[in-house]
Amino acid sequence: MPSWLLATLSLLTVALLLAAAYRPLGDYMAWVYTSPRHWRAERGLYRLIGVDPASEQSWRAYTRSVLAFSAVGVLLLYLLQRVQHWLPYSLGMPAVPSGLSFNTAASFVTNTNWQSYTPEQTLGYTVQLAGLVVQNFVSAAVGIAVAIALVRGFAYRQRRTIGNFWVDLVRGTFRILLPMAVVAAIVLLIGGVIQNFDPFHALTTLAGGTQTLPGGPVASQEAIKELGTNGGGFFNANSAHPFENPTQWTNLVEIVLLLLIPFSLPRTFGRMVGDDRQGYAILAVMALLFITSFVVFTAIELHGPGTAPQLAGAAMEGKEQRFGIVGSTLFGTSSTLTSTGAVNSMHDSLTALGGMMPMLNMMIGEIAPGGVGSGLYGILVVAIVAVFLGGLMIGRTPEYLGKRIGAKEIKLAGLYVILTPALVLVGTALSFAIPSVRASVTGTSILNPGVHGLSEVLYAFTSAANNNGSAFAGLTASTPWMSTALGVVMLVGRFVPIVFVLALAGSLAAQDKVPVTAGTLPTHRPLFVGLVAGVALIITALTFFPVLALGPLAEGLV
C-alpha cells in the first residue's frame, strides 16, 4: 500500500473512532463533574480522609490541596523505591539510589514519566504497581481536576469557589480513569500484551546463546500509561517492545487511548459552559494543529534525506518494522502532542528535521490535544491571550465566554505562557554555561557530540518542562546534574502553571457575565479558530526559533 494512502487511512480511522467517542464520553465527563450525587464508596472515602464533599473550595484552598496531595505522592514514591529490596516481588532488585529515586518520584507525580533508568532492570513489580501505576492514575486525575476548575471559572457567576479538589480527584479516578483502564487492559491482553507475575526466564536461543526474558503485569500498566497520557514504559524500549505493543492493531489502539480523553474534553467544556459551539471551536484548533504536525512529520521521514535512507528505501533506523514509518510518525505525533512521552520508535534515530517535529509538538505547549486535563487548560489560556490580542486590534475590552479579560487575567495567562519556555532555555543554557556541568554533559550525557548533542539536551529539558517524558534516547540522564535539574524542572513546570491556572479560575468565577454586544468577538467561528492556532504558533516560533537554529535546523539543513 502506498505510504500516503496508508497515512490517510490511519488518520481517518483514528479520527472516526475519536469522533464516535466525542459526544458520549464528553457528556459523561461533564456529568461526572456536575452531578450532585456521591456514590456510597466515595462517601466512605471522604469520611476516611475527613472531607466534606458538599463544600466547595476557594482557588487558594484548591491549590493548597493539589500541592499537598502531590507532595505526599512524591514522598511516598521516593520511599517505596528506597525500601524496594524489602518489598515482595522485588525480584532481587536493590534499593534505587537516592538521586534516581527523587527524579523518578518527581517524574511520575508530575505526569511526566521521564525514566532515567532501565525499568525491567531497576524496579520490581511492587514498586511498579503500588508506586508508578498509582501515580499514573492520580496524576492524570489531578490534571483533569485542574482543567475542570478552570472551566467552572468560566461557568460560575459571582462565586468565590471553583469546586472541591478531593471530590474532583476521586471522581476522575474512580468514575473515569479506572473503568476505562480496565476495558483497555482487556483489549490489550487480547492483542498479546503480557500480564503476569513471572520472574525472569533464562532461555537458550537458536544460535546457542542465552537470553533473559522478563515478565510482569504489563497490560494493566500499559492501559493507564496511554489513557492517562503518562508514558512511562514497563520496559526500556517502551511501546516499541513486543510485550507492550505486539502488533499494528494494538499500536492503533494505543494511539486512540492517548487521544481519547484529551480530544473529548472540549465537549465537556462546551457542556459545562452551556455552549457546545465553544467546545467545537477548541476541538477544531486541536485538530488543525495535530493534522498539520502529523503531515509534516510524516513527509520529512518518508523523504528520508541522506545516502543511507535513500539506499534503504526509507528512513527506518530506530523504527519497528511491524509499524513502519507511518505507524511511527502517527504514534510520535500523538505522544508528543499529548504530554505522554510513550514512544514506539527511537526519536534520536529520526532524521534531523524529523527529530525537530516532536520537539516542536512539545514546545507549542502540548495543546493539540495536550495531556489529560493539561491540554484543555493550556489551550484555554492560549484562547484568553488570543481574545486579548483580538480586543486590542479592534479597540474593545476583550471578553471570553462573557468574562472580561482584564489586567489580572492577562498577567496570569502571560506568566503561564512564558514559564515553560524559560525553564527549557535556562536549563539548556546552564548545562553548557557552567564549566563543571558542561564537562559532565558533554563527556558523559551526550552520545553524539556537536549539533546533535545540543538537540539531545534541548529535547530533554523541553520534555521535562512540558511534563512529556519522552527522550531522544541518545542522552544519558542518570548523572547528578541531569537527574537533579530535570527533576526540579519537572516539578516547577507542572505545579507553578497549575497555580496560575487556578488563580485565573478564581478570578473568572468571581466575575458576573457581561452581555454580548456588537463589539464582542465571536469565539465559535473559523476566524477565532485561526486566531488561537496562529497565536500558539507565533509564540512558539518567536520563543524557540533561535535555539532550534543552533540544533535540529542546523543539522538538517547542512
**pLDDT tens digit sequence for 367-417:** 999 999 999 999 999 999 999 998 888 777 799 999 999 999 999 999 999
Q: Which residues pair with 212 in a beta bridge?
A: 202
Q: What is the pLDDT of residue 311?
A: 58
Percent of the chain predicted with pLDDT > 90:
79
User: Would you say residue 313 has pLDDT above 70?
Assistant: no
Q: What is the pLDDT of residue 198?
A: 87
Average pLDDT over residues 142-161: 97
The three cell numbers locating residue 200: 525472569
User: Would you say residue 228 has pLDDT above 90?
Assistant: yes
User: Would you say residue 308 has pLDDT above 80?
Assistant: no
SS3 162: coil
d(CA 547, CA 465) in angstroms, rounded, equals 16
Short-list 327, 343, 333, 331, CA closest to 286: 333
Domain chopping of the chain, boundaries: 372-556
- Position 331 confidence tier, pLDDT thresholds 50, 70, 90: very high
The three cell numbers locating residue 335: 505522544
Q: pLDDT: is 475 or 437 the higher one?
A: 437
Average pLDDT over residues 217-230: 95
Average pLDDT over residues 83-106: 93
pTM: 0.95
d(CA 441, CA 449) in angstroms, rounded, equals 10
Q: What is the pLDDT of residue 267?
A: 98
Enter the DSSP assignment of 446. B
Q: What is the pLDDT of residue 517?
A: 79
- Position 491 confidence tier, pLDDT thresholds 50, 70, 90: very high
d(CA 110, CA 435) in angstroms, rounded, equals 30
User: Would you say residue 449 has pLDDT above 70?
Assistant: yes
User: Would you say residue 310 has pLDDT above 80?
Assistant: no
What is the longest distance spanned by two Cα atoms in the chain? Answer: 80
Q: Are strands 399-400 and 403-404 parallel, antiparallel or unpaired?
A: antiparallel
Average pLDDT over residues 312-341: 88
Contacts of 145 (CB under 8 A, 6+ apart): 66, 163, 165, 168, 169, 172, 373
Rounded to the nearest integer, the mean pLDDT of the chain is: 93
5-9: list long-range contacts, CB under 8 Å, 24+ apart: 6/324, 6/326, 7/294, 7/295, 7/298, 7/326, 7/329, 7/330
User: Would you say residue 315 has pLDDT above 70?
Assistant: yes
Percent of the chain predicted with pLDDT > 70:
98
